[in-house]
Structure 1
Amino acid sequence: MGKTARPIAGKRKHHLRVPVFPEEKKLIEAQAQRAGMSVARFLREVGQGYRIGGVVDYEQVRELARINGDLGRLGGLLKLWLTNDERTAQFGEATIRAVLSRIEATQDEMGQVMMAVVMPRAER
Structure 2
Amino acid sequence: MKIESTSNRKTTTPIKVCCTPDERQTLIEKAGQCGLSVSNFLRTVGLGFGIVSLVDHRKVDELVRINGDLGRLGGLLKLCLGNEASFQHVSTHGYKEQIVATISDIKANQASMKAIIKQVVKP
TM-score of the pair, normalised by structure 1: 0.48
| Structure with more of its chain in helix, by fraction | 2
| Bigger RCO (CA 8 Å, 6+ sep) | 1
